[in-house]
Amino acid sequence: MGRGGQGGGGRLFPFYPSTSLPAAIGFSLLLLNLSQPRASAAPSPPPSSALAFDYGDALTKSLLYFEAQRSGRLPYNQRVSWRHHSALSDGLEQGVDLVGGYYDAGDNVKFGLPMAFTVTMVAWGVVEYGEEIAGAGELEHALEAIKWGTDYLVKAHAAPEVLWAEVGDGETDHYCWQRPEDMTTSRRAFKIDAGHPGSDLAGETAAAMAAASVVFRRRNPHYSHLLLHHAQQLFEFADKHRGNYDRSVAAARKYYASVSGYNDELLWAALWLHRATAGAGLGDDGSGVYLDYVVRNGHALGGTGWAVTEFSWDIKYAGVQVLASKLLMEKGQRWPEEAAAAEEILMQFQSKAEHYLCACLGKNNGTNVRRTPGGLLYVRPWNNMQYVSGAAFLLTVYADALRRSGQALPCPGGAARPSDLLSTAKSSVDYILGANPMGLSYLVGYGPRFPRQVHHRGASMTSYKETRSFIGCTQGYDDWYGRQEDNPNILVGALVGGPGGDDVFQDERQNYMQTEACTYNTAPLIGVFAKLHRLRLEESAGGPPRRCSLLNPR
């Protein structure tokens, strides 16, 4: 993003607790709420049923985006041809190999918290919709996207109680507009350890490792075990040495401040570790420990108390509550006898999950998610699409869980059927793909009309492979940033920040609040696109096709 701006999209997050907020946070959130458009009844969006969106093509393009965001030495099968090797000495100054991973957005910094969340969400999409992704011919690319992230996270976890949190400095990076292949900015690395804790970062990284271990369990058992080992160590580190990572890593505070704290990440990691160990044959020494942690700490860590209306890289409570709810709804399949006592606590998690989902449907009393006149879920001006894609994913996952268990979603405004949740998720996705007042796809590269001036350093300048002449720090601003022409490289699959509360979008490179894309915007859509693609195929064929499991071959 531009000089002097704040990266990653959004900083403070209004949520609606059933318990009181700390005074300082509460005051900040009140100011934010007062500055937002007033909530209104959900209008009817432009009819999307008449638009035949190709969700399979959207899935393919979304996975390409992660290749555009790669840092390090690119592999032989790199498909985004305008990118080249970059940041090959990351960690050298600190004596550790930190080459690889992902740049978070349009800059050249590797921020650990949003990167780990990105990996968690892509992995969750594969866990839930692996068959659908495979059916679309994209499973290998999805696995590559996950592994590119986890390979880096394994490196970053250099010791049981050491995790490298960031490579690069946002201040110097944002004063330069350079291709990652040219960058001359600081590549200083920052870490957390026992004396400088970061439970939120360590917890999210543990969740990413655990979720990925589930994905690779049958396809690559050794790698799966390695990831699980790291996840367990990181969770112990996060829980034992508690603290916010942005207090230990001041360089991250301006860009990815952990406003919600670390309690949600501790529960998030524990639930993913429960899922990872439950299928690993570890018995009471594995999964039971983590479920017990969630049950014993659910109230103290806010899982049973916070009623939220958003889900993002910072605030994970809605995801925590959906995961806990799925345990209840799936208990007939794999519910251990000793866990029966946990049912009452998990039901409290479920009630808060229902609050979030009902808010997305507009069926709560007073605390619904705002909508634009065109029907888009709207949380705040800066990078609003991250909340839309996250909501679409959670609605889709919960709709499937309700359908399998034969339940409906109880809301103050009336019960919602699984199809109601899926319809809302689909309408959000359709808005993204072009069923909106602008008639514009906010997924770059999809359809005939999409943002052409994405706020992204590499995409906005001629490819390094075409012109290897060095582009200096300020030269990039002088020669490329202010150009009125379209970007020379299309950042295919990137989900930009999206329109404002009035559905208006300004496709200008300097308009980073709307035109910058982030990895965690696209990540939740992988599973949703695959699900909708499968449903479209079933609809065309007049019934569900024969299913086979490519993730868990017999």
pLDDT digits (tens, 9 = 90+) for 389-434: 999 999 999 999 999 999 999 999 999 999 999 999 999 999 999 9
Query: What are the DSSP calls for 110-142, one per residue?
Result: EEHHHHHHHHHHHHHHHHHHHHHHHHTT-HHHH
* Residues with Cβ within 8 Å of residue 165, at least 6 apart in sequence: 112, 113, 156, 190, 191, 192, 198, 201, 245, 248, 249, 252
pLDDT-derived band at 286 (thresholds 50, 70, 90) equals: low
Query: In 245-262, which positions are buried (b, 16+ CB within 10 angstroms) versus exposed (e)?
Result: bbebbebbebbbbbbbbb
27, pLDDT greater than 90: no
339: Cβ contacts below 8 Å, ≥ 6 apart: 288, 291, 331
Three-state SS letters, 145-193: HHHHHHHHHHHHCCECCEEEEEECCHHHHHCCCCCCCCCCCCCCEEEEE
Could you give the CA distance from residue 248 to residue 62 in angstroms, rounded to a whole number?
Answer: 34
Name, in order, each residue with C-beta under 8 angstroms of 467's C-beta and a sequence gap of 6 or more. none
CATH 3.40.50.10490 fits 55-539, yes or no: no
pLDDT of residue 330: 86
Assign 3-class secondary structure to 298-335. Answer: CCCCCCCCEECCCCCCCCCHHHHHHHHHHHHHCHHHHC
Catalytic residue list contains 299: no
Res 554: pLDDT: 24
Q: Is the dihedral of CA 530, 535, 539, 545 positive or negative?
A: positive
CA–CA gap between residue 179 and residue 506 (Å, rounded)? 24
86, 72 Cβ separation under 8 angstroms? yes
- Write out pLDDT tens, residues 158-190: 999 999 999 999 999 989 999 999 999 999 999
Q: What value, to the nearest 5°, has the Cα angle with vertex 121 and ends 211 and 57?
A: 125
| pLDDT for position 237 | 98
**Domain assignments of the chain as residue spans, ordered by start:** 55-539
Strands 189-193 and 370-371: unpaired
> What mean pLDDT is reported for the chain?
88
What kind and span of H or E run contains 58?
helix 55-68
Going by the DSSP 8-state scheme, the letter that residue 416 receives in this structure is B
Residue 43 reports pLDDT greater than 60: no
Distance CA 387, CA 480 (A): 30
The pLDDT confidence band at residue 6, using thresholds 50, 70 and 90, is: very low
Lowest mean pLDDT among 3-17, 220-234, 298-312, 474-488: 3-17
Reported pTM: 0.90
Query: Taking residues 268-297, what's their average pLDDT?
Result: 82
9 pLDDT higher than 90:
no
Decide if 251 contacts 258 (C-beta within 8 A).
no
3-state secondary structure of 381: coil
pLDDT value of residue 541:
83
Q: What is the pLDDT of residue 335?
A: 55
Inter-residue contact 180 to 457 (CB < 8 Å): yes
* Reported confidence tier of residue 340, pLDDT bands at 50, 70, 90: low
β-strand 189-193 against 162-167: which pairing, if any? antiparallel
Q: What are phi and psi of 167, to 5 degrees?
A: -125, 125
Active-site residue identified among 141, 157, 355, 455: 455
Check residue 326 and give its pLDDT.
96
